[in-house]
Copies of this chain bind each other. A is one copy, B any other.
């Protein structure tokens, strides 16, 4: 059916070994022969069989990408960047969505299924159980984590504690005292690390300013617009609502802004809101946020994996921390209540 390397060899009048060498750019092939082989290969429309090559070499030229979501902003961005970088180096991207939680607890993911299917694995903020992580390690494949770091594997992420601290310090600098926090619901089993860290940053900044975090102002919600909205509603309903809130993701922050509007209040006069991500719609909302470049994280992770695959073992245990930037827009300000002494 399909044209094989033998067909090319035969019509080019050389052996299959020569075709293989010529086409893969290996040395020890006369330029004339190489040219002939290239020509007849393209004349015949020869496409090497990937599976045959894999079977022969053990290498798949495929990278597995493990993700809990594909349509969520952060993940989609990361996947796009990974795909672009991998394809540029001739690698295929095998997309593997880790099954959703059926009833709270998702079926254990079996890393063994990746054996002999990929040369490396990128893990996108998937909260793996210890067993799953061990299984992944047992594969002895280059492993890169995005948005989390795990000992003994490469990782690319931002300093999430720093993110929380930056956002909170911004609010403190504006004169706010009652600063709330809306984090990701720990029940939702993804990206936990990031949200735990961001919360820690919030607390740390408050403490450094001599304030003690108020339990009532520390809430969490689903990592969605609706979750942020509900959480903010709760905060605003408090007897002493916060004058500023650090929301641990832009999507939740959008919801929080809606809750502010619903309550008949305004930002930043009545309450300041700062998010994290710089989601593409953040500018639309005028949302002040701590920007992270997911695209760069994705590309960096891909390059780490690729260079490890290329035999540069330098990265094999590297933990890369990418910078973040506070983007001040219009949802944060001194605020009327913050300026007036309220004691």
Contacts and interface: CB of A to CB of B under 8 A. Distances in A.
B47 A116 contact: yes
A26 interface: no
A50 B95 contact: no
Contacts of A284: 225, 254-255, 258
Contacts of A83: 70, 95, 97
Contacts of A92: 94, 117
Give the interface size bracket for A toward B. 35 or more
A269 to B, nearest CB: 17
Interface in A35-59: 45, 47, 49-52, 54-55, 58
A76 interface: yes
Interface in A79-97: 79-80, 83-84, 87, 92-97
B45 A49 contact: no
A47 B76 CA distance: 30
Interface of A: 1-2, 45, 47, 49-52, 54-55, 58, 60, 69-71, 73, 76-77, 79-80, 83-84, 87, 92-97, 99, 112-113, 115-117, 224-225, 254-255, 258, 280-281, 283-284
18 contacts: A1-B58, A47-B113, A47-B115, A47-B116, A49-B116, A51-B51, A51-B54, A71-B77, A76-B76, A79-B95, A83-B97, A84-B97, A87-B96, A93-B94, A94-B95, A225-B280, A225-B281, A255-B284
